Amino acid sequence: MTGLAVALVLSSAVLHATWNLFAKRVSGGVGFVWLMTTLQSLIYLPLALYILVVDQPPLTPMHLVFVLGSGVLHIGYFTLLGKGYQKGDLSLVYPLARGTGPMLSTTAAILLLGERPTPLALVGAACIGIGVFILTGDPRKFRENGAAQGVMYALMTGVIIAAYTLWDKQAVTTLVFPPLLYDWACSTARGIILVPYALRHRAEIAYHWKLHRRETLGVAILSPLSYILVLTALTFSPVSYVAPAREISILIGALFGARLLAEGDARRRMWAATVMVAGVVALAIG
């Protein structure tokens, strides 16, 4: 990975952990997904129009196929993540979801896309994975009330993360889809797909807007921005490097859980942080 790719991915990690803190506070369902998705489309519309008018990227029916596919995958992602946060702690659900995704996407990138990371990069990816499970902590947590369901939703979220990472990688590289325009189009597709749900659950949406307006706006702004940075890195870096490096956000999210949500156990998380930082350095050097 180049220095620019590392900077993009680490900046994305900070933004990603921050919007997940907001999402945990809301722990909303599909109505929340539609609300923040619609706000995303409106907020980023001027930039998307600028790219369309100035750059005039060539768009084909295949671009639409990728937009719709990513829109469906991200609906599943946000919905399952919200369910996980309803059932489990941020410091449990977030590491599992974020750790499962890159391990799967890195493996798939090697097997399906023919990427060949160096041995040092593979060691870095393994360190990040080890750090993820150290952060998860005591396995007895899984038997606590609601924790098992939180783990289940987190693992399902991780599978979807792996799927959309590989899918979106093809969109921004093979199809040369501008990252910001692609993310905006996918957000718009999600909003349109969920319109029937939104019409039937207006009270749920009004509730979230009334009580969680600031968090909803925070997710709407930071979620696309964090992913646009990752998509930009993917345009010139392999998935098998970018996907694991993103997971430094787990450290930040775990610290948010310890400091802001009183989930505790900071010493264990610092050990995990050391392992994860070593992994990121190994990826950058490799």
Give residue 209's pLDDT: 94
pLDDT > 70 in the chain, percent: 90
Residue type at 169 in one-letter notation: K
Query: Region 143-160: what's the mean pLDDT?
Result: 79
Q: Is the pLDDT of residue 249 over 70?
A: yes
Top-confidence residue, 272 or 197: 197
Contact at 8 Å (CB) between 235 and 172?
Answer: yes
Tallying the residues shown for the chain, one arrives at: 286
The mean-pLDDT minimum among 73-77, 121-125, 222-226 falls in 121-125
Give residue 146's pLDDT: 59
Element (H, E) at 231: helix 213-234
Q: Is the pLDDT of residue 237 over 80?
A: yes
- Maximum pairwise Cα distance, the chain: 56
Q: Is the pLDDT of residue 282 over 90?
A: no
Give residue 284's pLDDT: 62
What is the pLDDT confidence band of residue 6, given thresholds at 50, 70 and 90?
confident
What is the pLDDT confidence band of residue 115, given thresholds at 50, 70 and 90?
confident
pLDDT digits (tens, 9 = 90+) for 46-85: 999 999 999 899 999 999 999 999 999 999 999 999 999 9
Q: Is the pLDDT of residue 149 over 90?
A: no
Q: List Cβ neighbours of 12 (8 Å cut-off, separation of 6 or more).
A: 226, 227, 229, 230, 233, 246, 249
Q: Is the pLDDT of residue 11 over 70?
A: yes
The mean-pLDDT minimum among 19-23, 39-43, 103-107, 192-196 falls in 103-107
Give residue 2's pLDDT: 83
Residue type at 77 in one-letter notation: Y
Contact at 8 Å (CB) between 249 and 91?
Answer: no
Q: Is the pLDDT of residue 141 over 60?
A: no
Contact at 8 Å (CB) between 27 and 85?
Answer: yes
Neighbours of 259 (CB within 10 A): 11
Average pLDDT taken over every residue of the chain: 85
Q: List Cβ neighbours of 195 (8 Å cut-off, separation of 6 or more).
A: 34
Query: Region 211-233: what's the mean pLDDT?
Result: 93
Residue type at 202 in one-letter notation: R
